[in-house]
Amino acid sequence: MNSFFASVEQEMNPALRGKPVAVVPLLADTTCCIAVSYEGKAFGVKTGHQRSAMQSGSAQASCWSRGTTSTTSGTTQDLGDGRVVRAVEAVCSIDEIASRLTGSQQDVAVASALADKIKSAIKSQVGSSLRCSIGVAPNRYLAKIAADMKKPDGFTAIRPCDLPDILYSLKPRDLPGNRRPDGKSG
C-alpha cells in the first residue's frame, strides 16, 4: 500500500483528500512523521521528518500547518484486518503482503490483469484514497524492488530475462534494507 497511514486518514476524512497530510503519533513540537501523503511528499516532507526541524516559512512548514493530522486509534487496524487480502503467502507488515503466483499467473499479462483486479477491489471494498503498487519478480526481494519502481499505484514486472540490466539504473537507497533511519542509503 502506498503512504498507507496517510491514505487511511484521507479515506476516513474526505476533507483531507488531495491535501498534504503528515501522520504523527501525537501533536507536539518534537513529534515526527510516521507517514506522509503524496501531496505532502511533493513539498519535501518525508517519513521521519521532525516538526521542530522544519524552518519557519519553508514549504515543508507550510505543508505541515495545512494538513497535519494525528493517527486515529483503530482506524488502520480496521482497514488492515484482511478485507483487502485474501490468499497471501506472507503478511510482511500492515501495508505489505507477498503472494506466490503459480502456473499461468506467472505470465506477465495474467499477473498484470490480477494486479488490476486487486487494485479495483481495494478501491471498491476499502476506499479510493488507498492505492497500492504491485511488483512481480522471481523472488520476494526483487518483487519489492519492482513495486517501489512505480509509485504510487503502479505495476512493474521483473522477468528473469530483465536481470541484471533492470537493476543497473537503481541507486543503493532504492534497494530495500539499504536505508538508514534518516532515509539516506548506507
Q: Looking at the annotation, which residues are catalytic?
A: 96
Q: How many CB atoms lie within 10 A of CB 105?
A: 13
- ∠ CA 122-75-126, nearest 5°, is 15
Where is 135: in which H helix or E strand? strand 134-136
Starting at the edge strand that comes first in sequence, how are the strands of the sheet with 35-36 ordered? 35-36, 22-24, 69-70
Q: How many CB atoms lie within 10 A of CB 151?
A: 15
| Grid cell at residue 14 | 474526505
